[in-house]
Amino acid sequence: MMIGIDLGTSNSLACCFKDGKCVLIPNRFHEYLTPSAISIMDDGTVEVGKIAKQRKISHPDVSATNFKRDMGSDKIYKLGDKSFTPIELSSLVIKSLVEDARIFLNEDIEEAIISVPAYFDDTKRNATKLAGELAGIKVERIINEPSAAALYEHMMDTIEKTYMVFDFGGGTLDISIVDAFDNIIEIIAVSGDNHLGGNDFDEALLEYFLMEHNLLGKLDIHTHSVARKQAELCKIALSTQKEAQFQLHVEDQLYTSIITREKLIAICAKLFKRISIPMKRALSDSHYAISDIDEIIMVGGSSKMCIVQDFVKQLMHKQPVVSMDCDTYIAMGCGIAAGIKMRKDDIKDVILTDICPFSLGIDVINHDLNDHRMLFSTIIARNTTLPASRTQTYYTAHDRQKTIECNIYQGESMYCDENLFLGSLDIDIPPRPKGEIIIQVTFRYDINGILDIEVYVPATNETISKVIINEKCQLSEVEKAKRLEALKQFTLHQTNDMQLAELISKGESLFYQCSNETRSQVMAAVNYLKKIKNSNHISQQKKGMEDIQNFFQQVESSLYQDPFQNDIDDFLSGEVKQRNWMN
């Protein structure tokens, strides 16, 4: 069985094509969105998802989030005494999604199509493939996130249109210009920012709050995690309210700021300017005017922010389309792509053309005597439709040189050292005066991101070929086996009662967020839950668990209440304090 996976910065989810339709795959909490969060439990097992996200507040030293942003980098995440790369953390998320799919579908999952930001370079794309392999599945195909969204949109609405797909997630922004007609979806241009997402709005709001109250650099790791969570909640609330409170308890003092939508716009002014850059670049590369765009489709969880919707409307002069299920669009598109790859008879035949997100080329001599850096010579330009084949002719630069070293790069800078190095190819040539020997360099780049280089030397009638593989994210079979074996020790955390485990985790998280006067009540609730967890009468305690769940919901609401609501003491007064588990 093959599934589609939307591996997100904040949340991930899986989808399959079954019985003629896309089916979202629920996790063990019967929810579709699984937070991209990892936490090491006391027994050494790995918790993935909802509980791990809550533990980022209560146990920040053994928990990790937002690691997708570092895919393909050398960054190491320390979780307690264990070390993980972003690839390994991502593989654990994928492993959890695959296990959920296996249980839901009652069959083994052998392969997946995984979505990546359109602006991911070769290193990040290969890192994503490797994460899937370390999770124990085959990943032959990856798909650009906006392309997946466009695929799902066109399957739902087959009217001929030109779209701008605005994919705004927790950590990345992708813009795609798409032509959809008949059974063809043609990606015209892409642009993006791999380090711009909803999380950046959280960070900007957090920094403003800490500076306003002179708390910058003065919080411990737990309180800082709570503050970041409060910033996120404040941002979310401003999607339905015109103003909201940002509250934080530091020791015995409560700090409060009133944040309006207008103030949040001012705080995040630099982020809005950054959003406009890839929008302008995508339009420019597509050679389309704003008036040529029939519809703007906003997908990704951060597209729910009203101020972002208003900003896009202001720039594009039309109301964007934001579906209630905008955070499942990409996964649904991945599910359709999986169905097409499996050649399902009950799926409409669709041709999806994709493009090269970054230019590909080689290094050439810089004749500027004051600058010895090699220049980048483009062979396949960015936004070229894939698969693509392009040829360029080059001449020798020195008298009687015997070899030519072709270094292959990906990027948009005129200098090679500012682009991504992919690999090299050495060509032997007969020694002749400079300029007499020519080589014809052909790049072939396919939809799976495989780059095939062919160099023809007319003087010798020889052709040298090489498939360029980014070695940074490639492992030998022996190395891969070692990594797989090492990851096996981190088994997914299992529990017989997920509701109870989630309640305990939520209580531990709330303990760090709430005021001192409320902490004793939360601690009593958590201790009660742990007590019944170790008993054999969980079913008999359902009423107590329901009371605690309601109490936790009220505490959570009180932590982030509307300015016109009563204060926390009034809110928690009354029958809530009289529950039997308080005794």
Per-chain mean pLDDT for the chain: 86
Domain limit, last residue, from 329, 353, 377: 353
Is the separation of the CB atoms in 390 and 442 below 8 Å?
Answer: yes
Q: Is residue 293 domain-shared with residue 403, that is, in the same domain?
A: no
235 within domain boundaries: no
Q: Using DSSP, state whether 460 is helix, strand or coil.
A: coil
Q: Which residue(s) pair with 79 in the sheet?
A: 82
User: Is 510's pLDDT higher than 50?
Assistant: yes
- pLDDT > 70? residue 16: yes
CA distances 463 to 379, 387, 439, 440, 457, Å, are 18, 21, 10, 9, 6
In the chain, how many domains are there?
A: 3
Over residues 252-275, the pLDDT tens digits come to: 889 999 999 999 999 999 999 999
Last residue of some domain: 328, 353, 378?
A: 353
Q: How many CA atoms lie within 13 A of 118 on its CB side?
A: 31
Handedness of CA 122, 124, 125, 131 (dihedral sign): positive
- With respect to residue 475, please indicate whether it lies within any of the assigned structural domains: no
User: Do both 170 and 308 map to the same domain?
Assistant: yes
Residue 118 confidence (pLDDT): 87
The answer as to whether 326 is a domain residue is yes
Please list the residues that pair with 454 across neighbouring strands: 442, 465
Percent of the residues in the chain that have a pLDDT greater than 90, as a whole number = 57
How confident is the model over 47-99, as pLDDT tens digits?
999 999 999 988 999 999 999 999 988 899 999 999 999 999 999 999 999 99
| 220 within some domain | no
The mean-pLDDT minimum among 38-47, 262-271, 547-556 falls in 547-556
Identify whether residues 464 and 511 lie together within a single domain: no
The Cα-based distances of 83 to 329, 411, 474 in angstroms read 33, 31, 20
Q: Do residues 517 and 405 both lie within one domain?
A: no
pLDDT band of residue 282 (cuts 50, 70, 90) is very high
Per-residue model confidence (pLDDT) at position 472: 61
Task: Say if residues 287 and 155 touch (Cβ distance below 8 Å).
Answer: no
Q: Residue 348 belongs to a domain with what CATH number?
A: 3.30.420.40
| Paired strand residues for 12 | 34
Instruction: Label residue 492 by pLDDT band (50, 70, 90).
Output: low
Mean pLDDT of 490-496: 60
Mean pLDDT score, 226-237:
92
Is the predicted pLDDT of residue 486 greater than 90, yes or no? no
**Which are the contacts of 29, defined by CB distance < 8 A and separation ≥ 6?**
49, 50, 498, 502
pTM flag (> 0.75): yes
Q: Is residue 248 part of a domain?
A: no
Give me the CATH number covering residue 394. 2.60.34.10
What is the structure's pLDDT at 553?
Answer: 81
- Local confidence band at 312 (pLDDT 50, 70, 90 cut-offs): very high
Query: Are 424 and 409 a contacting pair, CB within 8 Å?
Result: no
Residue 471: predicted pLDDT: 61
Residues 52 and 138 in one domain: yes
What are residue 378's DSSP bridge partners?
A: 361
Q: Which of 293, 328, 353 is a domain's end point? A: 353
Token couple for 197: 């997402």
pLDDT the model gives residue 24: 96
Token pair 């035949």 in the structure block, residue: 349
Say if residue 442 is in the same domain as residue 507.
no
Domain span at residue 376 reads 360-469
**Percent over 70 (pLDDT), the chain:** 87
The reply to whether 208 falls in a domain is: no
Compute the distance between CA of residue 530 and CA of residue 497 in angstroms, rounded to an integer. Answer: 12
Let me know whether 577 and 457 are in one domain: no
pLDDT band at 567 (very low <50, low <70, confident <90, very high): very low
> Does 184 share its domain with 292?
yes
> Is the pLDDT at 573 greater than 50, yes or no?
no
Whether 491 is in a domain gets the answer no
In a domain, 436, yes or no: yes
Q: Is 382 found in the same domain as 316?
A: no
If asked whether residues 287 and 168 sit together in one domain, one would say yes
- Asked if pLDDT for residue 494 goes beyond 80, the answer is no
Q: Examine the domain organization and report whether 343 and 416 are in the same domain.
A: no
pLDDT of 479 above 70: no
Residue 574: the pLDDT is: 43
Per-residue model confidence (pLDDT) at position 84 = 93
Q: What is the spatial distance between Cα 572 and Cα 583, in angstroms, rounded to a whole number?
A: 17
Least confident of 27-41, 211-225, 294-308, 471-485: 471-485
> pLDDT band for position 530 (50/70/90)?
confident
- 338 and 429 share a domain? no
